[in-house]
Amino acid sequence: MTLKIGTRGSRLALVQADRVCTMLRAKGIEAEKQIITTEGDSNTGVPLHEIGGQGLFVRALDDAILRGEIDAAVHSMKDIPAIRPPGVLTSAVLPRDSPADFLAYDKSIDLVKVVGTSSTRRKAQLLRHDPSVIVAALRGNVDTRMKKLTAGEYDAIVLAEAGLERLSVKIPGERLPPEKFVPSPNQGTIAVVSRLDPSLSETMSLLDDPVTRSDVAIERVVMEQVGGGCFTPLGIYCRNGHLIASVLSLDGTREVRVEHDITTVAEARDRGHELHNEVRELIKEAYTLLGISTRGEGTGGSK
């Protein structure tokens, strides 16, 4: 039997799905890719928060799993919302690639004035680092973003370093240290979501990396407790149990930042709850400024 592995159609998504298929074949398990088109892929003209956030990409693949069209799907784990539909589970977490953001530019850094990103987190972090920078909206896959940089629409753009590495793309620029520019929860991690089937789960678990799963689980628990969805400038990063979490105002002028060494999920939950109490006004402010009802506040990741 050949497993059907669902993926979005972008070049990066296909590379990630190829990695999973290759790993499965190395275990003697036949697997093939199946492309699923999502609204987020076809509607790139508006910010993600206006059409449902990063979870938009995941829902289409979840639905394909539940309809039986595919057996599993491959995602950047940071895109997976905390609240999952019955019948699917994250059955494998691959070893983590770089968690960092990368500032790509092809001129002197002193000449960078306009930076492209549609992430509220990246925008707030850039403004906190340099309030004089102009942050302009930028969506699309890696190739689309790079073309816009080359065309001079932006002086620089922000990309996930892991995506560049997976695509073997080498471009001028600099790595933004994750200890300072705290990444999105689970950034740099590939996850496999599968149908809730014991034999399928057992198969996918052969790809699982326990260390990465532990770190990203801590990040995810803190994310769930803090809330704010993909609309709040929220960075959470855990490495070998050392947690850094940062929540900012949309304009980057205010930040609440904490660091803890975490050994259990219960500890992560407690630290996340404490942080939520400290930042709830920042979350409410972000929703108000973006014109979003707090009744729809989710606990999905912040890009």
Q: 165 Cβ partners below 8 Å, 6+ apart?
A: 97, 98
> Which residue from 221, 230, 247 is spatially nearest to 302, judged by alpha carbons?
230
Burial (CB count <10 Å: 0-12, 13-18, 19+), residue 214: middle
Q: How far apart are CA 225 and CA 211, in angstroms?
A: 22
**41, 62, 71, 79: the active-site residue:** 79
Q: Are 102 and 160 in contact (CB under 8 A)?
A: yes
Count of Cβ atoms closer than 10 Å to residue 206 Cβ: 14
Name the token pair of 135: 């942050």
Q: Are strands 72-76 and 3-7 parallel, antiparallel or unpaired?
A: parallel
Is position 79 annotated as part of the catalytic site? yes
Output the 3-class SS for 5-51: EEECCCHHHHHHHHHHHHHHHHCCCCEEEEECCCHHHHCCCCCHHHC
- In sequence order, which residues have a C-beta less than 8 Å from that of residue 22 and are 6 or more positions away? none
Q: How many residues does the chain have?
A: 303
What is the set of active-site residues?
Answer: 79
